[in-house]
Copies of this chain bind each other. A is one copy, B any other.
Amino acid sequence: MDDGGTPVRAVRRRAGRPAAAVLDLSGITHAALELIGGKGYDGLTMAALARKLEVAPSALYNHVESKHDVLVLVEDHLMSLVDVSGFGAGPWEDAVRTWAWSYRDAFATHTPLIPVIAVLPVTDAPRTLAMYEVVSTGFRDAGIPEARVVPAIVALESFIFGSAYDVTAPANIFDPGNMAESTPGFTAAVRSFGDEQHERPADVAFGLGLEALIAGIGALRE
């Protein structure tokens, strides 16, 4: 596997503008995704990105203003993996389920992007905006009062972001260890949950919360 550790070019490119541009936003995005796939977000550094693209680190700054821009590129790419196909093609509840599960799954392996998305003006991410257009239209057409569409989506997204973290939590996160005696109620609850689970714990919690949100928001329809 190419870890981006060693440049493959035989000869160094000499200074100055090359005949054909080496870099573009799409190439930067995909190189970033490869680095993340290999070593996670720790592996995504401007130096490693430059190495993988066989340029000097400073060359990247002709195309992005900062590393934050790179994260936005990756975020907007991932957003195109979110499945909005259910809206307008069946019951609203099913569309929301498909959307929410695919949204959580897309970002569960990209949690470092969550702080970026959560406060990112939609203008900066065209595919993200396109996703909102489909979803908000789907909510309106399902009968959600227009003034409630945005808060309903925000509530669902907040739940999705938090749940994406949960997927990455270690299996023993709730093991009270040697504190078990002083926390009998919690310890019993953790045991009882562990005993009867078939699905992944994170999936049980996500399913439970999602169905509650769908029911509560669905009740707003008129």
Binding site for B on A (CB under 8 A): 111-112, 114-115, 118-123, 126, 129-130, 132-133, 136-137, 139-140, 146-152, 154-163, 165-166, 168-170, 172-179, 182-186, 188-190, 192-193, 195-196, 201-202, 204-206, 208-209, 211-213, 215-217
Contacts and interface: CB of A to CB of B under 8 A. Distances in A.
11 contacts: A133-B185, A137-B185, A137-B186, A140-B188, A146-B188, A146-B189, A150-B192, A151-B208, A154-B202, A154-B205, A209-B213
A117 B189 CA distance: 20
A190 B216 CA distance: 21
Contact of A129 (B146, B172, B186, B209): B186
Contacts of A130: 183
B162 A157 contact: yes
Contacts of A159: 155, 158-159, 162, 209
A69 to B, nearest CB: 17
For the residues of A in contact with B, the DSSP-based class is: helix
B169 A118 contact: yes
Contacts of A216: 208-209, 211-213, 215-216
Contacts of A201: 150-151, 154
Contact of A149 (B160, B163, B189): B189
Counted per complex, copies of this chain come to 2
Given A136-B186, A208-B217, A166 B173 contact: no
Contacts of A174: 122, 132, 150
Contact of A132 (B160, B172, B183, B205): B183
Give the interface centre of A162, A166, A189, A216 by most chain B CB atoms within 10 Å.
A189
B123 A115 contact: no
A149 B192 contact: yes
